Structure 1
Amino acid sequence: MTPDDSNSTDASERDYEELLVLPAELRHELKEPMGPIETDADRLLETVDGPLITVGDVVTYHLLAAGRVPDVAFVDERTKRDAVDEKIRETVATEPTHEVINPPAELSGDVIRALREGLASDEPATVLVDGEEDLVAVPAIAAAPEGASVVYGQPDEGMVHVTVTAEHRAEMRVLLERFDGDIERFWELLGTRS
C-alpha cells in the first residue's frame, strides 16, 4: 500500500507536502543517541520484542543479514551522504512498498503517511526515501506502540536501539512540537495528537 492508498505510485507523481523543518537550534540535541548503541546485530536482536522499525540503509542491511525483516524500514540508498554500496542497495531497496519524497532536515507528508501505514500494516514495509530519512526516527518513536524497537544508525559508532516507552514517546512529542511548520497537520497525518 502506498501513502495515498493506491497501488504503486512513484513519489515524483505526487505533490510534495512540507510539514516540519528541523530548526538549526535543535540540531545539536539530535546528535546524542536516544538509546544504547550496539555494534552486533545478533546481540541487538536478542533485545527486540515487538515491532521493529529501522531508519537507515546500513542498519536495515545488518538486521536483515542477521535474519530479522523489519516491520517498517526507511532507506534512502545513502550513508553519511554517500551512496551505499551495491550489495546494501540491492538488499534493502530493490522492492520498496512505498516511495516518498523527504528533503534533508524535514519531515514531509509523504514520509509521515508511509510511517503511519507501515505501522498499521500486517506486512513488512520498506520505504524508499528520495531525499533523507534521518529524522524519521523521531516520529517513529512518537508513534510506535510501547515495546516496539526503533533502530537507527549513529555515524561511526553503531546502531542506536530505542525500546519505545511512554516516556520516550512523550519526549519525542515535546521535541517535535519545537520543529518549524504545520504541527497540527503533522499530528493529523501521524494519527496521534500531542
Structure 2
Amino acid sequence: MPEEILTLPEGLRGELKDPLGPIYTDTEGLLADAGEPIVAVGDIVTYHLLEAGHTPAVALVDERTKRESVDSEVKKAVVGDNGAPAFDERIAVANPAATLTAELLSALRAAVASDATTLLVVDGEEDLAALPAILAAPEAASVVYGQPGEGMVLVTADESARDRARSLLERMDGDLPAVLDAVRP
C-alpha cells in the first residue's frame, strides 16, 4: 500500500470543482497562452495537447475520464500499445482516489526537474495532482488539467496560484509539510 500523505475530506470536494484558472476549449488558444514547461494532468488534456503537436514536459494520466476507461484512440495516443510513444520516459506510480501519495509526489518532482518528457501512469487517480504540480512547476510554467464537461484549465505557476494550491492542500487531512518537502526542487 503506498504511503498516503494527504487525503481529501468530503467537505472540500465542492470547492475543488472551481477552476484555478481560465477554461479553454481550443487547444491552440491554450498553447498560445501557456508558458513552458507544461505539466498536463489528465488523459483527455494530454491527448488534446499531443493531437495539437505538443508533448507536455510532464503528463499524469490514469487511463480514465469521468470514472470510465478512456477510449482506445485516447489510450493509444497517450500511453501507446507498448509504452508511451510521445514521451522520453514512462513511470508507473500508485495513488489511490482522493489522495496524494509519497510515490506520486516524488515522481512528479523528479519529472519536473528532468530534461526528458515524462509520462506518469497512475494506478488509481491523478485528479488531485494538479495542486502539487502547481507548487513543483518552475515560475511561469503552466499546469493544465481537465474541467469535466467544460474544457481545459490553464494555471500559470506563479505566487498567486501557488498560494491558492497551498491553501487547498492545507485543508486536506494529513501531513502538509511532507507534501511541501516532497515537491520542492
TM-score by length of 1: 0.88
Deviating beyond 4 angstroms after TM superposition, the runs of 4 or more aligned structure 1 residues are none
Q: Deviations over 1:86-119 (max 9, x none)?
A: 1111111232511001011000111101110111
The one-letter code of the counterpart of 2:34 is: V
Aligned to 2:28: 42
Q: State the identity as a percent.
A: 52
Q: 2:62 corresponds to which residue?
A: 76
**Separation in 2, partners of 1:18, 1:176:** 13
Q: Is the Cα contact below 8 Å between 1:143 and 1:169 reproduced in 2?
A: no
Query: Partners of 2:126 and 2:150 in 1: how far apart?
Result: 18
- Please give the root-mean-square deviation of Cα atoms over the aligned residues, in Å: 1.2
Letter of the aligned partner of 1:153 in structure 2? Answer: G
The structural deviation recorded for 1:173 is: 1.2
What CA distance in whole angstroms lies between the structure 1 residues aligned with 2:116 and 2:130? 20
CA distance in structure 2 between the aligned counterparts of 1:151 and 1:190, rounded to whole angstroms: 17
Deviation at 1:24, TM superposition (A): 1.1
1:172 aligns with 2:158: no
Name the residue aligned to 1:88.
74
1:93 counterpart letter in structure 2:
V
- Taking structure 2 as the reference length, what is the TM-score of the superposition? 0.92
1:103 to 83, 96, 121: 96
Shift of 1:184: 2.5
Which residue of 1 is the match for residue 87 of structure 2? Answer: none
Unaligned runs of 5+ in 2: 85-89
Superposition deviation, residue 74 in structure 1: 0.3
In 1, the alpha carbon distance for the partners of 2:156 and 2:177 equals 26
Aligned length: 178
Q: 1:58, 1:108 → 2: CA distance?
A: 22
CA distance in 2, matches of 1:171, 1:33: 11
CA distance in 2 between counterparts of 1:168 and 1:43 reads 20
Unaligned runs of 5+ in 1: 1-14
Q: Which residue of 1 aligns with 2:132?
A: 139
Distance 2:68 2:14 in 1: 22
Trace 1:120-159 onto structure 2 (pairs within 5 A): 120-159=113-152
Q: Secondary structure, in 3 states, of the residue corresponding to 1:67?
A: coil
CA distance in 1, matches of 2:67, 2:53: 27
- The alpha-carbon deviation at position 172 of structure 1 amounts to 1.0
CA distance in 2, matches of 1:101, 1:110: 7
